Structures are given as structure tokens and as C-alpha cells.
Amino acid sequence: PYVNTKDILEKASEGFYAVPALNINNLEFLQAIIEAGLEESAPVIIETSEGAIKYAGNGNIMRGAKLFVDMVREYADTIDIPVALHLDHGKHFEYIIAAIKAGYSSVMIDASEHNFEENLSITKKVVEIAHSVNVSVEAELGRLVGIEDNVVVAAHEAALVDPDEAVEFVEKTGVDFLAPAIGTSHGAFKFKGEARLDFDRLKKVKERTGIPLVLHGASSVPQDIVELAEKFGADFKGAKGVPSEILKETVKYGINKVNTDTDLRMAFIAGLREFLAGNPTEFDPRKYFKVPKEYVKGLIKERMRLLGCSNKA
Ligand SMILES: O=C(COP(=O)(O)O)N(O)CCCCO
Ligand code: NA
Ligand SMILES: [Zn+2]
């Protein structure tokens, strides 16, 4: 069934496990995600960025949002695992309102580049609107910056979440789940040296707010996938993500939604490059997207098991 993201995340928080939030831009990634959820009997959170909505709607935001809701609901309403659709990194009201009107389960208002007071007042406004029509809301505190090696640069310190601010923020906004910045960053090149996350801040935010928490920039960038893609012509030098063991630790300290986009893209392009190299005569997309979809599905199933949401549907 198609559900509210909050239902999935409240259960995850109570059960001390996490659910991957998986970004899509097209049909093939949706198919891989749904198949992975069915095979793992796991809850599924699908998310789209504003860019994905613009892409699907050829610039028409309402059309793009409706396309994703219709695609996801057609699958969700015919299977017995819970499925939610979330607007990732909503920054512009036009997209946030379009997502709510189209029927998204939840929206993120990402006002983290503003100062605390600004972020709080913008988030409060979105929560009031979204909650009036039973849509849940995610917000972000702190900014996504990698923690450099062993020297945590003062500027980066300032970017990380302040646990004391988190309590006030949650109380005053009524936000349903929160993304505390603890040292991750988006994309395939997250850390120059060893990966370090600020677990102390994470633990404090969980203890003081008690609500489901979200990890952004959570892709692991598995080296075997990187090497496979490079074997067939990709150049991903220096690609590095969040090691699986560290990802597991974040769940122990209270993370319940794990945003994952780069890993899906890496798995897909590695599979596509490998298939195309071995099948020079193939030109049917249903054929040449099959192996990439299998790679994406396999990675998602592994991630569901790692995060503990398999058999939790
Ligand atoms: O936090 C994340 C996931 O980050 P990543 O998959 O790059 O680690 N997202 O919000 C997904 C979209 C960001 C662009 O990749
Ligand atoms: Na999000
Ligand atoms: Zn993110």
C-alpha cells in the first residue's frame, strides 16, 4: 500500500532500524527499487529531487510531480509492502506545494543554508501547510560538509548540527523527522582521508528530540562497483563513500532514513557499461537496461539488510 513516510519512520525509530530512501529520475530505478522491496519484504521510501520533477515534467513542475505520484501509486496500491514517496531537498515553495498537491507522502524543506531563525520560520510555515493535509515534513539542521581527515576545520565544526538547537527547532516547528549534519556530503567524493562522522552530536540529537532522524550523503560508493565501471571506461578516480560499518553505527545512534542516490547511479552505470561492452548489437532499452537494473536491485537488497529493514514490511 501507499503510506505516509512518517508511519514507516516511526516504526523504524521504535524498532531501532533504518530504511533506505532511494532517489529516482525514471521508470527503471523505480522498478529495481520495488522489486528489491518485494524480495526483501521491506518498507520502501522513494524520493525525488526538485531536478527529477523538472526532468520528468519537461519543465512543467505539476506534471512532473503528478507523473511520479501516479507511477509510484500504481505500483504501491497493488503490492503488500508499504511504499512512500518523498520530495527530497525541497527548497522552492513551487515544488513543495506541487508535491503536496500531487499527493506525495512527505516533503523535505531544506532551508539549511539560512541561519537558524530563518530555517526555523520557513520550516514552521511548511509544516503548518503540509500537516493541514496529512503530509509529513523533513528538515535539515547544519550543512553537509565532509570532516577533513583528523583536523576538523573550525568552519566545518560550525556547519555540523548543534544538538541544543535541535531540541528548540523540533519543538517550535513540529517537524516530523530531522536531518542532522554530522560530516557527510552528497556525491561520490565524500572524504579526502578516512571517513569520520560526528557520532557524539548524532547521539545527543536523538536523545534530546526522540524523533526519526535522516542521514544525507549516505552512499557507500562500493569499491567493487567503482572498479567494474572503470574496467569498462568510467573515470571515478578518488570516489569514496560512507563505509558500511560506519553506516551501521549511525543506525545504532538513531538514524532511521538513509538517503541513497549515488550508489544507485554507480550500480546502474557499472552494469550498463559492462552490458554494452559485451553486447555491441543490442539496441532494445528493455534489454540493455536489464543488467543495470539487476545491479541496482542487488545493491538495494544488501543495503536493506545492512540497515535492518528486511522483513519489516
Ligand atoms: O543525501 C542524499 C544522497 O546522497 P548520496 O547518495 O550522494 O550519498 N540525497 O538527498 C539524494 C540526492 C543528493 C544527490 O546525490
Ligand atoms: Na530528504
Ligand atoms: Zn541529501
- Per-residue pLDDT of 202-243, as tens digits, reads 999 999 999 999 999 999 999 999 999 999 999 999 999 999
- Least confident span in 152-156, 171-175, 245-249, 253-257: 152-156
pLDDT exceeds cutoff 60 at 150: no
Rounded CA-CA distance 198/205 in Å is 11
The residue with cell 523504524 is 12
Domains of the chain, first to last: 5-307 (3.20.20.70)
Cell numbers linked to 281: 548489437
Write the residue with the smallest CA distance to atom 8 of ligand 1.
217
| Nearest ligand to the C-alpha atom of residue 49 | 1
Q: Given this model, what pLDDT does residue 187 score?
A: 95
The set of residues, in sequence order, having a beta carbon less than 8 Å from that of 115 and lying 6+ positions away, is: none
Distance of CA 254 from the midpoint of ligand 3 (Å): 17
Read off the amino acid at residue 3.
Answer: V
Which residue has 557524539 as its cell numbers?
Answer: 200
Query: Residue 228: left (phi > 0), alpha (psi -120 to 50), or beta?
Result: alpha
Query: Looking at ligand 1, which residue's alpha carbon is closest to its atom 12?
Result: 261
What pTM, to 2 d.p., does this model score?
0.97
pLDDT digits (tens, 9 = 90+) for 60-69: 999 999 999 9
Residue in 7, 70, 80, 88 annotated catalytic: 88
Of the candidates 155, 179, 188, 162, the one whose C-alpha atom is nearest the C-alpha of residue 254 is 179
Q: Is 262 in the pocket of ligand 1 (CB under 6 A)?
A: yes
- Say whether 149 is catalytic: no
The residue assigned the cell 550523503 is: 217
259 lines ligand 1 (CB under 6 A): yes
Mean pLDDT over all residues of the chain?
96
Pocket test for ligand 1, best of 186, 191, 268 (most atoms within 8 A of CB): 186
For residue 46, report the distance from its CA to the centre of ligand 2, in Å.
10
Q: What is the ipTM of this complex?
A: 0.98
Ligand nearest to the CA of 262: 1
